[in-house]
């Protein structure tokens, strides 16, 4: 695991955008794993800015897979993750909707939705780079504490903490769906490169537990310790709980420039 400490959210966004662009430049048919939540938004805005300026790679051949989706929202709801990712990233990059995949929350297919999504991911050849945020309780995608470390895409019930945290998108806690479909921790581990972004003081405890705490289902993001290619990009506030932060700084400063993330 490589931990990169950066001054602020803007620098996190720049380095994350560089890394995503490098993946697409090296493999025009790359499969991008996309997270929602507010943390990746500056990264997505940076990618869009560069694309509009004619600076980014071509996204003509990429395919995208979202991590998770709410269950129970009317089709096309603005806070569905399908609508969110289209609005915040894929539409502005010119990636057509048929190249953007997400778990299918329609009620009639719910029992098989997880398995079908796993099949879609496998048929696409797997995710090349997976953008991840982290919940204040250490959740990854919607894998709440207690999620099996080998889990695959499935229906989950949100904790009260996560519904409270996401109430800002819905106007009230009561309006936040109780159920979701989410890639499992085992699904996420299959991606070839994991890019975890965390900014702000509210994430400091979760980042410390994920990076330096024990491997435990009680902190789902600690599963990242099992993956061979993880980049954790944190701003100073989110890094505040890391005991080894001076070491991470030294390692990154001494990194050969050809190595990339």
Binding site for ligand GLP (CB under 6 A): 35-39, 67-68, 133-135, 141-142, 162, 166
Closest CB to ligand GLP among 44 and 59?
Answer: 44
Closest CB to ligand GLP among 57 and 195?
Answer: 195
Active site residue 237: no
Closest CB to ligand GLP among 38 and 225?
Answer: 38
Q: Which residue of the chain is nearest ligand GLP when measured via CB?
A: 133
Shortest spacing between CB 125 and ligand GLP, in angstroms: 23
CA distance 54 to 10: 20
CA dihedral 42, 67, 231, 190 (to 10 degrees): -160
Tokens (6 digits) for 194: 């994991």
Active-site choice (69, 104, 144, 235): 144
Active site residue 144: yes
Shortest spacing between CB 198 and ligand GLP, in angstroms: 8
CA distance 178 to 2: 34
Active site residue 137: yes
Q: Which of 42, 156, 47 is nearest to 91 (CA)?
A: 47
Burial 64-94 (b: 16+ CB within 10 A, else e): bbbbbbbbebeeeeebbbbbbbbebbbebbe
Shortest spacing between CB 132 and ligand GLP, in angstroms: 6
Active centre residues (catalytic): 68, 137, 139, 144
């Amino acid at each position: 695991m490589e931990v990169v400490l950066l001054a602020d959210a803007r620098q996190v966004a720049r380095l994350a955008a560089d890394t995503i662009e490098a993946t697409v430049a090296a493999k025009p048919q790359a499969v991008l794993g996309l997270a929602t939540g507010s943390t990746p938004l500056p990264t997505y805005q940076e990618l869009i800015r560069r694309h509009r300026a004619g600076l980014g790679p071509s996204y003509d051949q990429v395919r995208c897979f979202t991590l998770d989706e709410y269950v129970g929202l009317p089709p096309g709801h603005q806070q569905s993750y399908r609508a969110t990712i289209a609005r915040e990233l894929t539409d502005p990059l010119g990636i057509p909707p048929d190249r953007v995949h997400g778990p299918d929350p329609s009620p009639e297919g719910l029992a098989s939705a997880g398995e079908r999504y796993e099949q879609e991911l496998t048929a696409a050849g797997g995710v090349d780079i997976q953008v991840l945020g982290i919940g204040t309780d250490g959740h990854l995608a919607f894998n709440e504490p207690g999620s099996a470390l080998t889990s695959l895409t499935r229906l989950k019930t949100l904790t009260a903490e996560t519904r409270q945290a996401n109430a800002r998108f819905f106007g009230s806690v009561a309006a936040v769906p109780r159920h979701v479909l989410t890639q499992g921790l085992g699904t996420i581990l299959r991606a070839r490169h994991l890019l975890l972004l965390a900014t702000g003081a509210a994430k400091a405890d979760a980042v410390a537990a994920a990076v330096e705490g024990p491997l435990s289902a009680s902190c789902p993001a600690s599963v990242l310790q099992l993956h061979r290619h993880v980049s954790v990009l944190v701003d100073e506030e989110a890094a505040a709980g890391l005991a080894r932060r001076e070491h991470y700084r030294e390692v990154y400063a001494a990194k050969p420039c050809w190595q990339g993330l």
